[in-house]
């Protein structure tokens, strides 16, 4: 599916970090999570569009994150980034975010392979801005509404960008990590929605898209309790290693 000759952009849920770091260690040429870990398809699509456009971040993108209100500790980040991008001041955040964007955009434009890992179809929308956020950054829950994206909406985000880049190969996968906040049924509905959306994308862009069944490997082949970490949500290191070996063997 991929080789060390490929130039790869990989982004998505924390499972993408697990696989991406193993690819790096194995000598693959990879740009990994340039906005930090992203869980939902809307935020991942927005990241792809930002890599296309190169639109820089400005003060209007910056939000204040409460790290420890009792101690008066705050940091600054954006709704487009994971919390690992938070910095002590707006200027420091913008400088770091724009630097990461510039490097990643140059890599993206010349990359031949894009690997995207969807974690959940559930999203949080910031009520006052209407923006689907990559991370709520400890902002009070009353400032967000929660909804689940549908198959058509997810597909509509990706079909245009894939068609604009027919020279790139787009590999999709669904994270096997469980999202307990969604509930057992909600988690299954979410994963099913992601799978159906990817299937729709593949049907319409069959020539340059592929799917790797990390979710299916975990729930069908590695479903034994010993293949889960102590939280019973994340795959164990052994399970991730096994999935990784299957991935690079294709």
Q: Give the residue among 200, 70, 42 at the shortest CA–CA distance from 126.
A: 42
> Residue 212: pLDDT above 80?
yes
Average pLDDT along the chain? 92
Confidence of residue 232 (pLDDT cuts 50, 70, 90): low
Instruction: Give the pLDDT confidence score for residue 70 in this predicted structure.
Output: 62
Question: What's residue 224's pLDDT?
Answer: 61
Per-residue pLDDT reduced to its tens digit, 133-182? 999 998 999 999 999 999 999 999 999 999 999 999 999 999 988 777 77
- Is 190 strand, coil or helix? helix
- pLDDT for 222 equals 61
Q: Which residues in 109-225 belong to E strands, given as ranges? A: 113-118, 122-126, 132-133, 144-148, 169-174, 209-211
Segment 70-89 shows an average pLDDT of 90
Residue 196 phi/psi, 5-degree rounding, is -65, -35
Domain boundaries, the chain: 7-54+95-121+150-249
Q: How confident is the model at residue 63 (pLDDT cuts 50, 70, 90)?
A: very high
Q: Determine if the pTM surpasses 0.75.
A: yes
Average pLDDT over residues 109-119: 97
The CA distance from 115 to 31, in Å, is 10
> Angle of helix 151-164 relative to helix 41-53, nearest 10 degrees?
20
190 and 122 Cβ atoms separated by less than 8 Å: yes
DSSP code string of 156-176: HHHHHHHHH-TTSEEEEEE--
Pick the CATH number of 7-54+95-121+150-249 from 3.90.1150.10, 3.40.50.1110, 3.10.310.30, 3.30.390.10: 3.40.50.1110
Tell whether the model's pLDDT for residue 226 goes beyond 70.
no
């Amino acid at each position: 599916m991929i080789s060390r000759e490929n130039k790869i952009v990989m982004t998505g849920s924390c499972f993408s970090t697990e696989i991406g770091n193993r690819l790096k260690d194995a000598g693959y040429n990879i740009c990994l999570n340039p906005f930090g870990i992203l869980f939902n398809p809307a935020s991942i699509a927005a990241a792809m569009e930002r890599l296309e456009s190169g639109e820089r971040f400005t003060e209007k993108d910056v939000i204040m994150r409460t790290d420890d209100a009792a101690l008066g500790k705050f940091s600054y980040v954006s709704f487009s980034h994971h919390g690992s991008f938070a910095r002590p001041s707006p200027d420091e955040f913008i400088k770091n975010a724009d630097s990461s964007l510039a490097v990643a955009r140059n890599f993206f434009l010349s990359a031949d392979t894009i690997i995207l890992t969807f974690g959940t179809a559930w999203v949080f929308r910031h009520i006052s801005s209407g923006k689907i956020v990559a991370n709520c950054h400890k902002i009070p829950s009353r400032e967000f509404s929660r909804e689940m994206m549908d198959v058509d909406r997810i597909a509509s985000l990706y079909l245009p960008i894939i068609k604009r880049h027919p020279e790139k190969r787009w590999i999709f996968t669904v994270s096997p990590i469980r999202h307990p906040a969604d509930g057992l049924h909600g988690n299954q509905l979410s994963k099913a929605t992601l799978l159906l959306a990817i299937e729709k994308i593949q049907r319409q862009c069959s020539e340059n898209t592929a799917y790797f069944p990390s979710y299916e490997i975990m729930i069908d082949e590695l479903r034994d309790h010993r293949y889960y970490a102590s939280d019973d949500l994340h795959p164990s290191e052994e399970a991730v290693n096994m999935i990784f070996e299957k991935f690079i063997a294709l």
